Amino acid sequence: MTWKRKDLLSMQDLEAGEIRDVLDTAESMKEIATREIKKVPTLRGKTVVNLFYEASTRTRTSFEIAGKWLSADVINFSASGSSAEKGESLLDTAKNIEAMSPDVVVVRHKAAGAPAMLARNLRCAVVNAGDGAHEHPTQALLDLLTIREKKGHLEGLNVTIVGDVAHSRVARSDIHGMRKMGMTVTVAGPPTLIPAACQELGVKVSYRLEEAIAHADVIMMLRLQHERMTAGFIPSLREYSRVWGLSLDRLKHCRSDVLIMHPGPVNRGVELSPEVADGPYSVILDQVTNGVAVRMAVLYLLAGSKGA
Amino acid sequence: MSLLLKGGRVIDPWNGVDAVQDVLVTDGKIAKVGAGLKAPDGAAVVDAAGKVVCPGFIDIHVHLREPGFEYKETIASGTRAAAAGGFTAVAAMANTFPVNDNRAVTDYILAKARVEGCVRVYPIGAVTRGLKGEELAEMGEQAEAGCVAFSDDGKCVMNAEVYRRAMEYALPFGVPIISHAEDCHLAHKGVMNEGLVSTELGLAGQPAAAEDVMVARDILLAELTGAHLHIAHISTAGAVRMVREARARGVRVTAEVTPHHLVMTDEAVRDYDPNTKMAPPLRGKRDVEACLEALGDGTIDCVATDHAPHALSDKEGEFAEAANGVVGLETAVPVLLDRLVRQGRLDLPVLVARFTSGPARLLNLPGGRLSLGSPADITVLDLERAWTVEPRHLLSRSKNTPFAGWSGTGAPVLALVGGRPALPSYPLTVPGGGA
């Protein structure tokens, strides 16, 4: 095991070997979920604080279960709105939490860079659970774990990410992680939702869905936020769905062993038709299952592997 | 009372001087410049051998924050910072509280500066009342009171009709309209330059075009009205190109560039340090190169710091929420002497011109030259003086510098205002305290 980092902030930071370590560790954690008594003593006496400044059910629950199965004490700290609205700065909040001696702080914040700022100022480990449109590294790791399980390997696979790449932290983390693991990444979506200089991230950019998914081993559909319509990025959800939605009809032109993924929550009928979301190609629920394993691995590597 | 600066390399671009000479100051004015001058009886003599003696440096874009935001900066602290940075005059932007959009505020700033300021302060009035971009401010009375230019800096006047009227209305007063060129719709929620770095960081970017379209509009309005348009803090290759073309066509357009836009790119934002956040944002390498080239060839008339002090509480925390702006008065000259002059990217006399004759001509100020009878505002540089930027040592009330930890060689060592040191303690001292 080569893990040396204090924090997990981004996929851009990680090297391929480190990603492999997390995935291998996560694989070994999966067995715990199959036990009658889902608990191991690995993180007994350790404290994990979930510091969530943005609403999240799935990710927070996933971290909570991961911590509890490892016997850590998990505390959920929800703070709605921005730190400015609360009147206490993010840094002050974090310093207060640190004064209670946690071992890991898992932070989600609408501001890109917030976890990095906390990591610089806190002695404990910081895990980025999603910061603005920057990164969501544990999501990318669970995506990689799911693909590796289903395909048996990662290198050489073609992945197409479809939708609102511009505002997606999942897309950024996936792009970095997948490229590091030797995968070929194509992004596709309306040009208004493809970020500036996207090719310079080392991906292909396509403005035609059929072309972009024709040779894909994996299709990652991104959630389309309703705000994008009122903000003028797209004219209507109806049109978005017609041009960029994945239906059974469109899947006919894809590889027969294609995997359909989605970071959730799915807008049924917008980016994915219900038949596709629930169909045989979909591995969306496997992603959720693997999310717990990946987060157990991350908590273990950050808090447990140094020895109690 | 007399003062003789002896044996320095005198660089006075206004008068085309670059030679080892002596400068004699009497009663706060330049009395003589020449070789082998004799010190009159009782004159203080400053040995300037090995130093560079220049007209006093002028910064035409400074936020002194007083009245209204004294927790960020005051006229006293801001002019001390200016003096420490080698400046002998600053022009103060209008976005105070209340806004400098009427004579009472202008008078207040000038009165405060007379009592508490240690360098000359030239107020800039607002173009529109309350910086709202709607109704014209009382520019006539403000010009009479001492405003040397008009600007809604910090905000862009989005209504082209209002801006056209402002340019026309200012014509009789012979002062420029200074444009903060930023299309707020195109810039939208962008908190940094749009490009690879903004994409990787997940921060909303604003395209260079947000500046370019407004520079294009304002040049067309200057052409229409015949007004003197000055582009504040130019930062893009496109804007530089348009200013160069417009000047060649005879349009009265001038421009300034900040030190940070000359030596930093958006790569500096990678740590999410709010001290790299300002408007306009740090741009790409190509933009930086275009600005430097334009500074060299005179398309850009002057360096101006856009000194924008902010308290820690306005600047710490999330990048997207932090206030725009950085302090610059105390770092501008050292940083540019090292990164541009010492590294051979700009000749020293050109840099001196952009700090002296350039801004003085632009705002019709009495300084910026060592002509006989002109005010004895003088800046002395030591090109061998080593420095390191330590925020806590800055004299500005705010410490929001993007240059923290930078070090280099070459710095101002003395600034005289009306023949007297602007601060009591300089590395180069004047016996008896000056003329």
Strand B407-417 and strand B420-421: pairing? Answer: antiparallel
Q: What is the mean pLDDT of residues B285-300?
A: 98
Task: Provide the residue count of chain A.
Answer: 308
How confident is the model over B73-93, as a mean pLDDT?
98
Size of interface A-B (CB pairs under 8 A): 70
pLDDT of residue B408: 98
Q: Return the axis-axis angle of helices A137-151 and A169-180, rounded to nearest 10°.
A: 50
Query: Could you tell me which residues are beta bridge partners of residue A219?
Result: A160, A260
Vertex B94: Cα angle to B88 and B95 (nearest 5): 120
The pair of three-digit structure tokens given for residue B312, joined into one six-digit string: 């820690």
In B191-297, beta strands by DSSP E: 192-193, 205-206, 229-231, 253-257
Segment among A263-267, B46-50, B116-120, B261-265 with least mean pLDDT: A263-267
Q: What is the pLDDT of residue B280?
A: 98
Residue A304's pLDDT is: 83
Treating both helix axes as pointing N-terminal to C-terminal, what angle do A16-33 and A137-151 enclose, rounded to 10 degrees?
70
pTM, full prediction: 0.94
Q: How far is B272 from chain A (nearest CA, A)?
A: 6
Instruction: Give ∠ CA B10-B11-B12 in degrees, rounded to 5.
Output: 110
Residue B201 has its nearest CB partner, among A84, A91, A113, at A113
Q: Is B272 on the interface with A (CB under 8 A)?
A: yes
Q: Which amino acid is at B158?
A: M
Q: How far apart are CA A109 and CA B127, in angstroms?
A: 39
Contact flag B196-A200 (C-beta cutoff 8 Å): yes
Q: Which of B194, B318, B319, B321 has the most A C-beta neighbours within 10 Å, making it the best mutation to test the interface with A? A: B318
- The pLDDT value recorded for residue A80 is 63
Average pLDDT, stretch B140-151? 98
Element (H, E) at B120: strand B120-123
- Written as tens digits, the pLDDT of chain A (308 aa) is 678 999 999 999 999 999 999 999 999 999 998 999 999 999 999 999 999 988 888 999 999 999 999 999 999 987 765 454 556 778 888 788 889 899 999 999 999 999 999 999 899 999 999 999 999 999 999 999 999 999 999 999 999 999 999 999 999 999 999 999 999 999 999 999 999 999 999 999 999 999 999 999 999 999 998 877 778 899 999 999 999 999 999 999 899 999 999 999 999 999 999 999 999 999 999 999 999 999 999 999 999 865 44
A284-299 vs A16-33: helix axis angle to the nearest 10?
110
What's the pLDDT tens digit per position in B85-132? 999 999 999 999 999 999 999 999 999 999 999 999 999 999 999 999
Q: What is the CA radius of gyration of chain A?
A: 19
Alpha-carbon distance of A8 to A301, in angstroms, equals 10
Task: Find the CB nearest A197 among B195, B204, B316.
Answer: B195
Q: Measure the CA–CA gap between B133 and A204, rounded to whole angstroms.
A: 43
The pLDDT mean for chain B works out to 97
Q: What is the pLDDT of residue A84?
A: 47
Given a cut of 70, whether residue B324 has pLDDT beyond it is yes
B186 touches chain A (CB under 8 A): no
CA distance A105 to A75: 10
Is the CB of residue A84 less than 8 Å away from at least one CB of chain B? Answer: yes
Task: Give backbone dihedrals phi and psi of A201, rounded to 5 degrees, phi first.
Answer: -80, -5
How many Å apart are CA B241 and CA B33, to the nearest integer? Answer: 39
So what's the pLDDT on residue B293?
A: 98
Radius of gyration of chain B (CA): 21
Question: Which among B203, B207, B313 is the nearest to A112, CB-wise?
Answer: B203
Q: What mean pLDDT do residues B155-179 have?
A: 97
CB atoms within 10 A of CB A52: 22
Residues near A211 by beta carbon (within 8 Å), at least 6 away in sequence: none
Helix (H, G, I), strand (E, B) or coil at A125: strand
Min Cα–Cα distance to chain A from B271, Å: 8
What CA–CA distance (Å, rounded) separates B63 from B52? 28
User: Which of B 311-330 lie inside 8 A of A, CB atoms?
Assistant: 313, 316-321
CA atoms within 13 A on the CB side of A28: 11
Distance CA(B109)–CA(B126), nearest Å, equals 14
β partners of residue B417: B420
pLDDT recorded at residue B435: 62
Residue A129 gets which letter from DSSP? E
Query: Percent of chain B having pLDDT more than 70?
Result: 100
What single-letter DSSP state applies at residue B119?
S
- Rounded distance between C-alpha atoms, residue A188 and residue B426, angstroms: 61
The answer to whether A40 and A69 have CB atoms below 8 angstroms apart is yes
Q: What letter would DSSP give residue A39?
A: -
Element (H, E) at A209: helix A209-213
Chain A contacts of B319, Cβ < 8 Å?
Answer: 111-113
pLDDT value, residue A230: 77
Distance between B72 CA and the closest CA of chain A, angstroms? 19
Catalytic positions of B: 306
Count of CB atoms situated within 10 Å of the CB of A4 = 8
Q: Following CA atoms B286, B287, B288, B294 in sequence, which dihedral angle do they give, to the nearest 10 degrees?
A: 110
Q: Which residue has 């944002």 as its token pair? A: B281
Q: Which two tokens stand for residue A268?
A: 């049924």
Q: Which residues of B touch A85 (CB under 8 A)?
A: none
ipTM of the complex: 0.91
Contact between residue B159 and residue B133 where contact means Cβ atoms under 8 Å apart: yes
* Strands (E) located in chain A: 47-52, 73-78, 104-109, 125-131, 158-162, 184-188, 204-206, 218-221, 259-261
User: Taking CA atoms, what residue in A is nearest to B207?
Assistant: A196
List A204's β-bridge partners, or say none: A186
